[in-house]
Chain A
Amino acid sequence: NAGVTQTPKFRVLKTGQSMTLLCAQDMNHEYMYWYRQDPGMGLRLIHYSVGEGTTAKGEVPDGYNVSRLKKQNFLLGLESAAPSQTSVYFCASSWGLAGGGEQYFGPGTRLTVT
């Protein structure tokens, strides 16, 4: 039981390049989330999904796209990376309130955009 895994762990991009971050969970969770963590700002929600095939915008969605084609996977895409997207990205999943409400987090992806 791996929990929540994220790929890759580290990445350096040049401005304008694109990339996809992969999140996978093996707990059969309905809800999945992408956050970014910046110093002094806590975790800010980028996008989230309440089930396979659904996505919704969070607090800071601009510059990012997501897809949830399979229940266990949640992909975060950067089409044209900008230095402002340098951050640590965390994926989380949850059963929702019926399952206790807590989120389970991946180990994070550290992204640097030069």
Chain B
Amino acid sequence: AQSVTQPDIHITVSEGASLELRCNYSYGATPYLFWYVQSPGQGLQLLLKYFSGDTLVQGIKGFEAEFKRSQSSFNLRKPSVHWSDAAEYFCAVGALRGTYKYIFGTGTRLKVLA
């Protein structure tokens, strides 16, 4: 069965430090992968996506993610975190073949220390 795992429920980093949020997926074909961010009380906003091609993708707000097929991973990174990055981050596998559905991970809540 298809699934998305985000092993870290909470992560705390200091402002200016680097960040990596982990995402692993289980899917029998080349996936379409997404990272979304949710600020408190808000809906989800797309950070970046991977369909094919270059395995390192750039997104908004200085985020990037790397697709590693051998590890079934799509980890999100940022070299220097800002206080405004505090939010919840969701990884998703999208548009599953023939179903138009998406599966979301359970999310990672990021706290940024000043």
Identify which of residues 72-95 in chain A touch chain B, using a CB-to-CB cut-off of 8 Å: 90, 92
A107 close to B100 (CB less than 8 A):
no
Chain B residues whose CB sits within 8 angstroms of the CB of A58 once the complex forms: 101
A102 close to B46 (CB less than 8 A):
yes
- Smallest CB-CB separation from A45: which chain B residue? B101
Interface of B is mostly: loop
Is A2 in the interface zone, CB < 8 Å from B? no
A90 close to B44 (CB less than 8 A):
yes
Q: Whole-angstrom distance between the alpha carbons of A31 and B42 in the complex? A: 21
Count, chain B residues at interface, CB 8 A: 22
Q: Whole-angstrom distance between the alpha carbons of A44 and B95 in the complex? A: 15
Known: A31-B100, A101-B34, A103-B34. 11 other contacts (CB 8 A): A40-B106, A44-B104, A48-B101, A96-B95, A97-B32, A102-B34, A102-B46, A102-B94, A105-B36, A107-B41, A107-B43
